[in-house]
Amino acid sequence: MLAIAAGRQHALAQLVERHGKGLTAFARRYLGSSCEDAEDIVQEVFWTVWRKAAHFDPDRAQVTTWLYRIAANRCIDVGRRNTFLRFVGLDATPADLTLDEPGAESEISGRSELALVRKGILKLPQRQRMALLLRAVADLDVPAIALVMRTSSGSVEQLLVRARRALREHMKQAGGGSRV
């Protein structure tokens, strides 16, 4: 972060290389939307890092935690904007239509189950969805998720328990099993 704060572009490039794919996957899955929204969010994350690297405090958070906190905030903002646009009729494409629906060639059980899980994740309340994706996609531990979400570790554990329970129930109702 010191190198980025000093204006060294190669340091930012290394950070992008190390965390870009994970941040993009998190944003896509959180929003359930196109690559464009996720890529825009990740660009904003790294633009913020470039501008505010000097303000990063390693005593308050790890770099990964800071990156995912920025991404989570952007995802929330984009999600609110998309919900508003759908509400006022400016965006006729609901988020769940962008999911990979199992087609004729993808009726294989695993792909079908994955599509059901994706739908289930999108139906979760925002905080449960964020906690679950930070754990599953970003591979953050409970204390790191608590820092990203600005809550306690106990709250994160409860969010994860509720999210997994809701996913199991969703899969059960959809007839997709309960391996979640």
Query: Where do the structural domains in the chain lie, given as residue ranges?
Result: 1-98, 102-180
32 versus 100: the higher-pLDDT residue is: 32
- Per CATH, 1-98 and 102-180 having the same topology is answered no
The predicted pLDDT at position 85 comes to: 61
Q: Does domain 102-180 have CATH number 1.10.10.10?
A: yes
Q: Span 1-98: which CATH code?
A: 1.10.1740.10
Average pLDDT over residues 132-141: 89
Please calculate the CA angle 73-78-84 and round it to the nearest 5 degrees: 130
Q: CB–CB of 65/148 below 8 Å? A: yes
State the SS3 of 6-24.
CCCHHHHHHHHHHHHHHHH
Please calculate the CA angle 115-116-119 and round it to the nearest 5 degrees: 90
Calpha distance 102→106 (Å, rounded): 5
Assign 162 a pLDDT band (cuts: 50, 70, 90).
Answer: very high
Position 102 pLDDT exceeds 50:
no
DSSP the chain: -HHHHTT-HHHHHHHHHHHHHHHHHHHHHHHT--HHHHHHHHHHHHHHHHHHGGG--TTT--HHHHHHHHHHHHHHHHHHHHHHHHHTTS----GGGGS----GGG-SHHHHHHHHHHHHHHHS-HHHHHHHHHHHTS---HHHHHHHHTS-HHHHHHHHHHHHHHHHHHHHHHTS----
Position 1 pLDDT exceeds 80:
yes
Max alpha carbon distance in the chain (Å)? Answer: 55
Query: Model-level pTM?
Result: 0.67
Written as one letter, the residue type at 70 is: I
pLDDT digits (tens, 9 = 90+) for 32-78: 866 688 899 999 999 999 999 999 999 988 999 999 999 999 998 88
The predicted pLDDT at position 96 comes to: 44
Calpha distance 175→172 (Å, rounded): 5
Assign 105 a pLDDT band (cuts: 50, 70, 90).
Answer: very low
